[in-house]
Amino acid sequence: MADVVQELTDETFQKTIDDAVTPVIVDFWAAWCGPCRTVGPIVEDLATTHTGKVTVGKVNVDENQATAAKFGIMSIPTLILFKDGKPVKKVIGVRSKGDLEREFELA
């Protein structure tokens, strides 16, 4: 995983979101999920392309079930954009980099 993408856990999630100085995109995923493996490199590319403009984190839903439940994650991959510590946009499923940039207003 790219150094610009943070692994978030049930223990670190809220502090990371609250302390972020930029909007945060969180990728909820699992290792066994084929579509998640497709989205992973796209998310890493977003993190690299938009360094300083957005923070990117990943939550493994199998290992961090409390955080996944808190945000009602029923399908993966799910990406949620947080601004000022609050979820403001949710995208479910595989999307292209361009689609995600438009959805999250990064373009």
Structure tokens at 24: 């945060």
Q: Which of 8, 17, 36, 59 is catalytic?
A: 36
Containing structural domain, residue 66: 5-103
Residue 68: what are its φ and ψ, rounded to 5°? -60, -40
User: Residue 28 belongs to a domain with what CATH number?
Assistant: 3.40.30.10
**Residue-by-residue DSSP string for 79-97:** EEEEETTEEEEEEES---H
Examine the pLDDT at 3 and tell me if it is beyond 80: no
What's the confidence (pLDDT) of residue 72? 96
Residue 57: what are its φ and ψ, rounded to 5°? -135, 160
Q: Report cis status (omega within 30 of 0) of the bond before 77.
A: yes
Q: What is the mean pLDDT of residues 57-61?
A: 97
Is residue 33 annotated as part of the catalytic site, yes or no?
yes
From 72, 40, 37, 34, select the one nearest 56 (Cα to Cα).
40
Is the overall model pTM greater than 0.75, yes or no?
yes
Q: Which of 4, 20, 30, 33 is catalytic?
A: 33
Domain count, the chain: 1
Residue 102: what are its φ and ψ, rounded to 5°? -70, -45
